[in-house]
Chains A and B, each alone.
Chain A
Amino acid sequence: MPATTLLRLATAGSVDDGKSTLIGRLLYDSKAVFLDQLDAVERTSRARGDEQTDLALLTDGLRAEREQGITIDVAHRYFATPARTFIIADTPGHIQYTRNMVTGASTADVALILVDARTGVIEQTRRHAFLASLLGVSHLVLCVNKMDLVDWSGERFAEIREEFTGFAAKLDVRDLAFIPISALLGDNVVHRGANMPWYEGTPLLHHLEQVHIASDRNLIDARLPVQYVTRSHAKDFRGYAGTVAGGVFKPGDEVLVLPSGLSTTVAAIWGPGGKPVAQAFPPQAVTLQLADHLDISRGDLICRPANRPQAGRDLDAMVCWFAEDARLTPGSRYLLQHTTRTVPAEIRGLDYRLDVNTLHRDESAESLSLNEIGRVRVHTRKPLFFDPYRRLRATGSFLLIEESTGATVGAGMITGPSLPDTQVVWHATAVGRGERATRGATVWLTGLSGSGKSTVAVELERRLVAEGRPAYLLDGDNLRHGLNADLGFSAADRAENVRRVGEVARLFADAGVVAVVSLISPYRADRERARAVHEAAGLPFLEVFVDTPLEICEARDPKGMYAKARAGEIRGFTGVDDPYEAPEQPALVLRPQDGDPAAMARTILGLLDEIG
């Protein structure tokens, strides 16, 4: 037996369309239905008084489904031919089961939609086609069934094909095929049959065996969400395990890790069980070893430096709502599960609700209820690293989870980052803060010379930028050489230095940037003035006290200043012959025992995330 590939197929439709008969025939003709299963189905059919054996009983596995004669849940069926292995996600067709169709289509390569040749394209057909397109299923097969009941008419088939083609033009469907069949008699299911000589295409099964799905994967955008850190002390091994979401990774590739923004190279790639992998591509489950020891944990994302996902906390998404007893409304909060990250999120707005039958957008809708689909604006507590769903399913999809019950209440497909509300009237001379894409703030790091302020500030700025937030470091160096070049080190000049930095930080923050200030700023009154100008402007001001004991700072003495001060070569040096006034109510105090600069930067980031 040669190695075969796997095709995931979603089928939608109701018993009336002959869907169960079709699946039954596919399974039976490909020898995937077993005799004892068929016996059981025949017994149940007889007991229920059915005239014919109901092949739907093969897939309807739950008692309630058999008793009510309906399909409630997605059923998975398996069959194989010498060319391919198939997983069928069989979903019920009625509108009240939209969530099941969405579930089945989420992993499908091909969606199979049935049409009754007598009735042609109906509302349900359009809904199924739309959902398949929304979920990014690239290949659509429209099976025109019951051709035996329209005298095997080629004209009727052409009419239906034309009508559906017109509708499909509005959808994002890359590959559309039409097959006239009779599931009951078997024509064009597995074998051609003799009744439709005018049909020049292939039978359904042959089509499913041949449809080219390898190119559906995104092999451009290399993305590996870190799922698990594999460590073995005995073997001195540390690797990052995950499932390749997109693109190709090779040993030797330069990679970038988000959110840290640090770069390194891939040292080795291992498949399950330690099989060396020369090229890792989706959906392989691999373990990456990196050349440098970086601080990487679950939820981080490995990509290429020149091809990064979008980063941000505000995104637009199409959401399908699943909850029976709760509605999605603006202002509601959920957990959002995206790749290997789960973060708190808030629904900031509902742009419209979509009528899945007519594709009409209802912009006056105020909520989504069970099985409804709409476009929402989501704000997350921590940044996500994402691609539009259209481009990459794995980094563009998410679940919404109700925190108290743990229930999965919605599924989302990211369309892109949220832009500021375009409804706001735009004045050339006055852009309001709400119209800016990002919200600014000032982080003011104060402490002795050598306390480590600058190291933390540099790390913080780098992480913010990696997360997609504009940030800018303001420190003694970049200001003293420019804006403050006219200032010396007299008490008055120092106070003026702090005042100017405070004002510049306020302007940056107002422009939507996170200003990261690293300044000894020893006097309480000077810092309070900086705080006051921020508060007056309604901008967040986080005073962070880097509280490193003098002995440690002096031992570090990075610029040799303490030595000079002790030798009397410089005067008025903070901590030696000039006082440092510690903050009375800082937003945060960082002490050496709080970890390395990277950990400290993460703590500050957490604080920034909390304020919005």
Chain B
Amino acid sequence: MSQHEKSTASSYELSHSDTLEAESAHIFREVAATFERPVLLFSGGKDSVVMLHLAAKAFWPAPPPFPVLHIDTGHNFDEVIEFRDRTAERLGLRLIVARVQDDIDAGRVVEETGPRASRNRLQTTTLLRAIREGGYDAVFGGARRDEEKARAKERVFSFRDADGQWDPRAQRPELWNLYNGRHRRGEHIRVFPLSNWTELDIWTYIAAEGIDLPPLYYAHRRPVVRRDGMLLAHTRFLTTDAGEEPFEATVRFRTVGDATCTGCVESTAVTPEQVVAEVAATRVTERGATRADDRISEAGMEDRKREGYF
């Protein structure tokens, strides 16, 4: 029996993993019962994979009563897209893909240029368009409070106005397990069922549940370039600076996002258990180690979140 299932019923004690799982199930059910059109953001990244796994468990034996939505930057790792499609099909879920490229083509956003160009910030426009077009009133996101300090202040039910914006100074107090999802037409609520999970919790759960992930998350050989102290995958989307020489390394990804700004770390962990051991020993946060997009400024995340980012 895996360790997180080992809740000793006789002592009426719930393990920490089971407590987090129960809290997430409660949140999913609350949304399904009180909103008309929920949608779950699914990128194929580990947090969204765990989130979807929890959703499937919360509504067992029925499938989750909502579709999944991917905001596609076009700068993807092929194996993640393949994984995304396979997962949606296995769970019998409707997959909606909203493409950043469509907003670029329509002139709604202008693509950055140069070696540091990223489509990260452009995703906000695409995300808000997809929410509006789908008429979604609740949007599940896999953000965790331990990831970043602006997210540490985020509510589980987080209100967004008609322009999709977040006002951190006007957040609703959130007490007990009573979640207030009241909103008017055009407004929506972002819901974060993994709020209280840490990176280590996620990996412990992946190991205990045997959750399938894209192979990028485990150690493998690939060409990389070193930039700003991070290792970036050398893919067709990355424009290299003069002097940046691609080299082969054994790496794994701690987060998976836009291929141009998601770094990897040197690692030999090839199983979830080995990753758990590695995460338990690490002294650098996953976003700090691997996300160029968070290095913009001290308030990089807060500013993007205010605009409507994930």
Give residues in A with beta carbon < 8 Å to B: 1-6, 31, 34-37, 40, 43-44, 58-64, 66, 72-78, 80, 84-85, 87, 99-100, 102-103, 106-107, 214, 217, 219, 227-228, 230-232, 235, 237, 241-243, 248, 270, 272-275, 277-279, 281, 283-285, 287, 298, 322, 335, 337-338, 340, 393-394, 397-399, 401, 403, 406-408, 411
CB-CB under 8 A from A84, the residues of chain B are 16
CB-CB under 8 A from A74, the residues of chain B are 153
> Could you say which of B74-82, B104-112, B260-268, B284-292 contacts chain A?
B284-292
- New contact pairs (7) apart from A77-B152, A232-B61, CB-CB < 8 Å: A3-B6, A5-B19, A62-B168, A66-B299, A227-B26, A340-B30, A406-B183
Interface residues of B in 100-158 (CB under 8 A from A): 145-146, 148-153
Give residues in B with beta carbon < 8 Å to A: 3-7, 9, 11-23, 25-26, 29-30, 32-33, 54, 56-62, 145-146, 148-153, 159, 168-169, 171-178, 180, 182-184, 195-196, 198, 200-201, 204, 282-285, 288-289, 298-299, 302
A-B contact pairs, 28 of them (CB 8 A): A1-B3, A1-B204, A3-B7, A3-B17, A35-B284, A40-B288, A63-B298, A63-B299, A76-B196, A80-B200, A84-B16, A107-B177, A219-B12, A228-B32, A230-B60, A230-B61, A241-B25, A243-B26, A272-B58, A273-B56, A281-B12, A283-B14, A283-B177, A285-B23, A285-B29, A298-B33, A337-B178, A340-B30
Which of A40, A76, A322 has the most chain B CB atoms closer than 10 A to its own CB? Answer: A76
CB-CB under 8 A from B169, the residues of chain A are 62, 64, 72
A401 and B180 form a contact (CB under 8 A): yes
CB-CB under 8 A from A214, the residues of chain B are 11-13
CB-CB under 8 A from A242, the residues of chain B are 29
B60 and A36 form a contact (CB under 8 A): no
Q: How far is the CA of A73 from the CA of B195 in the complex (A)?
A: 16
Given contacts A61-B152, A272-B25, A399-B175, contact A2 B302 (CB under 8 A): no
B285 and A66 form a contact (CB under 8 A): no
Output the least CB separation between B120 and chain A (Å): 19
CB-CB under 8 A from A399, the residues of chain B are 175, 178, 180
CB-CB under 8 A from B145, the residues of chain A are 76, 78
B196 and A87 form a contact (CB under 8 A): yes
Given contacts A228-B29, A285-B25, contact A73 B198 (CB under 8 A): no
A75 and B12 form a contact (CB under 8 A): no
Output the least CB separation between A334 and chain B (Å): 11
CB-CB under 8 A from A6, the residues of chain B are 14, 16, 19-20
Output the least CB separation between B150 and chain A (Å): 5
Query: For residue A4, which residue of chain B has the nearest CB?
Result: B16
CB-CB under 8 A from B16, the residues of chain A are 3-6, 84-85
A406 and B62 form a contact (CB under 8 A): no
Output the least CB separation between B297 and chain A (Å): 10
B176 and A61 form a contact (CB under 8 A): no
Given contacts A76-B196, A99-B173, contact A230 B62 (CB under 8 A): yes
CB-CB under 8 A from A275, the residues of chain B are 5
Output the least CB separation between A578 and chain B (Å): 51
A285 and B58 form a contact (CB under 8 A): yes
A61 and B149 form a contact (CB under 8 A): yes
A66 and B61 form a contact (CB under 8 A): no
Q: Is the interface of A mostly helix, strand, loop or mixed?
A: mixed
Given contacts A78-B198, A230-B59, A275-B5, contact A107 B14 (CB under 8 A): no
B178 and A34 form a contact (CB under 8 A): no
Q: How far is the CA of A31 from the CA of B284 in the complex (A)?
A: 11
A3 and B4 form a contact (CB under 8 A): yes
Query: For residue A67, which residue of chain B has the nearest CB?
Result: B299
A232 and B62 form a contact (CB under 8 A): yes
Query: For residue A219, which residue of chain B has the nearest CB?
Result: B12
A270 and B146 form a contact (CB under 8 A): no
Q: How far is the CA of A4 from the CA of B6 in the complex (A)?
A: 10
Output the least CB separation between B235 and chain A (Å): 25
Query: For residue A399, which residue of chain B has the nearest CB?
Result: B178
Q: Pick the contact of A5 from B13, B56, B283 — CB < 8 Å? A: B13
Query: For residue B175, which residue of chain A has the nearest CB?
Result: A106
CB-CB under 8 A from A34, the residues of chain B are 282-285, 288
Q: How far is the CA of A505 from the CA of B57 in the complex (A)?
A: 53
CB-CB under 8 A from B23, the residues of chain A are 283, 285
Output the least CB separation between B62 and chain A (Å): 4
CB-CB under 8 A from B33, the residues of chain A are 227-228, 298, 340
A75 and B11 form a contact (CB under 8 A): no
CB-CB under 8 A from B171, the residues of chain A are 73
Query: For residue B8, which residue of chain A has the nearest CB?
Result: A3
Output the least CB separation between A281 and chain B (Å): 5
Q: How far is the CA of A340 from the CA of B182 in the complex (A)?
A: 14
CB-CB under 8 A from B12, the residues of chain A are 214, 217, 219, 248, 279, 281
Query: For residue A87, which residue of chain B has the nearest CB?
Result: B196
CB-CB under 8 A from B283, the residues of chain A are 31, 34-35
